[in-house]
Amino acid sequence: MINVEEFFTAIEQLRGYKDNGKKYIFYYDETNNYRKVRITERGLNDFKVMFDNFTLGGICFEKSKEKDTKELITSLKLQTGQELKSKTFFKGKNTFKDCIEHKKLNIILNWILNNAYVHYSDIDSIYFSVIDIVDSICNNPIAKYLPQDLIDAFKDELYGAIRSNFKIFLDICRKTDYPNVTNEKIKIFCKGLIDIINKEQEKYTTLELLKELIEQFINYNDLIFLKDNEERIIMESFYSLRQQRCIIFRDSMHIFDKELVDEQKMNDEYMILNNGNKLENYKFLDSKDEVNIQISDIIIYLIAKYLKFLTHYPNENVENTLKSLNKIGKENLTILIQIINKSNEENIFFLETINSQKVNIRRNLMNQHIENILGI
């Protein structure tokens, strides 16, 4: 059971959220849903989690301004009974360039620009794990007065060190049954982290201080966020992310694509208001029965490709891709950025990213560079 008011207050304090008083209806689909990521004897059951973020989101409207989709669907000239799905719409095209140059995408993007907003939560699952490690280490009297900026720097730098030594990290996880590190295994886990830091600390500015904290923490008997979890599971599901969106926008309605595991978990771990009533501002629907989920599938697939393009493509490749875009590709990219900017101006919490600050800074810089090139 989750107390909605307590959770909402924590978000207000930690992240500066301010309710703008508007009520929305959100539609969701997702891309790169790994469901359960396990630590195995050989590594991970799905190594794509290292390179492809989970992205949840889609389109949204103010409740009183939701637009009819009939004209849009008619203009796409789909076959009778055909569902609008990213896999068939983009016909297996994997690169951002191939997707953004799709001719019919122009129809969808223009419709969204004129009628809706986009929203998304983009999560690096490895970074998400590092957050729990650092927050556990900093949850003690020694670290009580550390500034949040320093704690965020710890997360960024430990994330970089772990990615550079991921096989070693997985070995530590196997030995300690991470993320269910029992008291008798805390020393093994902490010493393993120190070994990783020793390999990397010359590259970073704060890891030496984090190492000192870990060394002092070894004698504590509680890694608060790394206990009472299923052993060797890095990511079980993303239902908590869906819950968070429902709580942040608690006066709005949230329509998710059918996902049986997450739906069951949300129904079991219900959200409760101070008056004792359940927060029931969500439902799960089959995308075949809801066109706005289908549109969300297209736009969230495209946004995930764009975010990966900003994050992982070398600067020279970004430049070359922009130069090689055809006319419709440049127009579509311009509209996509306008949609994202319009949505961010409506509510900065429409666009959520759980990634390292290094990644966030790079994305912002690259996006600004692309805007300058396109004259936005």
Instruction: Quickly count: other Cβ atoms within 10 Å of residue 129's Cβ.
Output: 21
Nearest to 52 by CA among 140, 147, 125, 154: 125
pLDDT exceeds cutoff 90 at 58: yes
For residue 236, pLDDT beyond 80: no
Angle among Cα 117, 120, 126 to the nearest 5 degrees reads: 170
Q: Which two tokens stand for residue 208?
A: 């030496």
Q: Are 124 and 55 in contact (CB under 8 A)?
A: no
Sequence-ordered list of residues with C-beta below 8 angstroms from that of 32, at least 6 positions apart, any chain: 48, 52, 53, 54, 55, 304
Three-state DSSP string of the chain = CEEHHHHHHHHHHHHCCCCCCCCEEEEEEEECCCCCEEECCCCECCHHHHCCCEEEEEEEEEHHHCCCCHHHHHHHCCCCCCCCCHHHHCCCCCCHHHHHCCCCHHHHHHHHHHHCEEEEEEECHHHHHHHHHHHHHCCCHHHCCCCHHHHHHHHHHHHHHHHHCHHHHHHHHHHHCCCCCCHHHHHHHHHHHHHHHHHHHHHCCCHHHHHHHHHHHCCCCCCCCCCCCCCCEEECCCHHHHHHHHHHCCCCEEEEECCHHHHHHHHHCCEECCCCCECCCEEEECHHHCHHHHHHHHHHHHHHHHHHHHHHCCHHHHHHHHHHCCHHHHHHHHHHHHHHHHHHHHCHHHEEEECCHHHHHHHHHHHHHHHHHHCC
Q: Which range, 41-50, 76-85, 95-104, is most confident?
A: 95-104
Residue 353's pLDDT band, with cuts at 50, 70 and 90, is very high
Asked if pLDDT for residue 111 goes beyond 70, the answer is yes
Mean pLDDT within 280-299: 97
List the single range of 85-89, 109-113, 232-236, 302-306 with lowest mean pLDDT.
Answer: 232-236
- pLDDT 10s digits, 152-205: 999 999 999 999 999 999 999 999 999 999 999 999 999 999 999 999 989 999
Q: 295 pLDDT band (50/70/90 cuts)? A: very high
% of the chain residues with pLDDT over 70: 99
Give pLDDT, residue 22: 94
- Cis ω on the peptide bond leading into residue 179 (within 30° of 0)? yes
Say yes or no to pLDDT of 75 above 90: yes
The answer, yes or no, to whether residue 11 has pLDDT greater than 90, is no
Give the HSE-up count for residue 170: Cα atoms under 13 Å, Cβ half-sphere: 19
**Model confidence at 47: pLDDT above 70:** yes
What's the rounded Cα separation, in Å, for the pair 118 and 110? 13
pTM here is 0.93
Tell me the two tokens of residue 210. Answer: 């984090």
Q: pLDDT-derived band of residue 243, with 50, 70 and 90 as boundaries?
A: very high
Residue 92: pLDDT above 90? no
Condensed to tens digits (0 to 9), the pLDDT of residues 112-153 reads: 999 999 999 999 999 999 999 999 999 878 787 899 899 999
pLDDT band at 14 (very low <50, low <70, confident <90, very high): low
Q: What pLDDT score does 144 carry? A: 79
Mean pLDDT of the chain: 92
State the pLDDT at residue 18.
Answer: 74
Domain ranges of the chain: 2-37+48-125+237-374, 140-223
The residue assigned the tokens 């926008």 is: 249
